């Protein structure tokens, strides 16, 4: 289930985002305290606009959040980002969530022509998610950004509007 985050999600976010394995290949540090998770919620709230949407990935029964996925619109381009609790990896959940967000975005933004996603080249799981969503590998961008004080290469994936 995908739905908006609320302030009540801070503890559930902390439960997965405090895991160093989850934070290893993302731009943010593993959460050290509930304050970091509340900070994440504040960050999402500060970005709220027609050009940015974020959803909690929730257990369908308990509705407890165990991941996140977001969509950012930049004119005719879009971008998706995601993270999931380590104990749910490998079940197809982020692929399912990303496919749902992509289908939503093509409808929601008629001007959207292309959606991109980025990951560290060694993030095999993320690369596979992008492929399973129908994205194609575009390029390996050397020293594309600084993450946790280090210049990193990025693998760029994209898909174009088909209808
Ligand atoms: C990357 C991540 C989002 C994948 O989510 P997920 O729900 O486990 O992904 P899915 O189950 O939908 O698909 C993962 C695919 O990658 C494959 N995979 C995972 N780890 C792999 C590895 N180390 N080597 C090769 N393939 C790998 C899985 O086998 C699966 O492919 P398959 O269906 O063909 O077998 C999740 O691992 C995660 O949240 N990681 C930490 C945060 C992160 O890296 N976010 C992305 C930043 S760009």
| 18-65 pLDDT per residue, tens | 999 999 999 999 999 999 999 999 999 999 999 999 999 999 999 999
pLDDT at 127 over 90: yes
Alpha-carbon distance values, 82 to 26, 27, 68, 92, 110 (Å): 9, 11, 5, 13, 23
Q: What 8-state DSSP symbol labels residue 123?
A: -
pLDDT averaged over every residue in the chain? 98
pLDDT at 143 over 90: yes
Distance CA 98, CA 27 (A): 19
Residue 123's pLDDT is: 98
Q: Whose CA is nearest to atom 12 of ligand 1?
A: 92
User: Would you say the CB of residue 124 lies under 6 angstroms from ligand 1?
Assistant: yes
Atom of ligand 1 nearest to the CA of 91: 11
Å from CA of 102 to ligand 1 middle: 17
Distance CA 55, CA 121 (A): 25
Å from CA of 93 to ligand 1 middle: 9
Sheet holding 114-119, edge to edge: 2-3, 52-58, 65-74, 77-84, 114-119, 150-160, 136-147
Atom of ligand 1 nearest to the CA of 119: 48
Å from CA of 19 to ligand 1 middle: 16
pLDDT at 120 over 90: yes
Find all residues with CB under 8 Å of 75, minimum gap 6, and list them: 111
Angle between helices 93-108 and 124-132 (to 10 degrees): 50
Cα within 13 Å of Cα(126), Cβ side: 25
> Tens of pLDDT along 75-104?
999 999 999 999 999 999 999 999 999 999
Distance CA 124, CA 117 (A): 13
Residue 163's pLDDT is: 82
Å from CA of 135 to ligand 1 middle: 15
Q: What is the mean predicted confidence (pLDDT) over 117-135? A: 98
Taking the model in full, what pTM does it have? Answer: 0.97
Residue 30's pLDDT is: 98
């Amino acid at each position: 289930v995908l739905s908006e985050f609320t302030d009540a999600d801070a503890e559930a976010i902390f439960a997965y985002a405090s895991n160093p394995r989850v934070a290893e290949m993302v731009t943010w540090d593993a959460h050290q305290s509930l304050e970091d998770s509340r900070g994440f919620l504040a960050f999402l709230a500060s970005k709220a606009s027609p050009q940015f949407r974020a959803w909690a990935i929730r257990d369908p029964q308990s509705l407890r959040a165990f991941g996140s996925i977001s969509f950012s619109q930049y004119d005719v381009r879009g971008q998706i980002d995601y993270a999931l609790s380590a104990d749910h990896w490998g079940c197809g959940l982020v692929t399912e969530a990303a496919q749902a967000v992509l289908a939503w975005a093509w409808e929601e933004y008629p001007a959207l022509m292309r959606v991109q996603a980025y990951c560290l080249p060694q993030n095999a799981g993320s690369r596979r998610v992008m492929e399973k969503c129908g994205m194609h590998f575009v390029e390996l961008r050397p020293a594309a950004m600084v993450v946790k004080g280090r210049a990193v290469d990025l693998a760029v994936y994209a898909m174009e509007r088909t209808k």
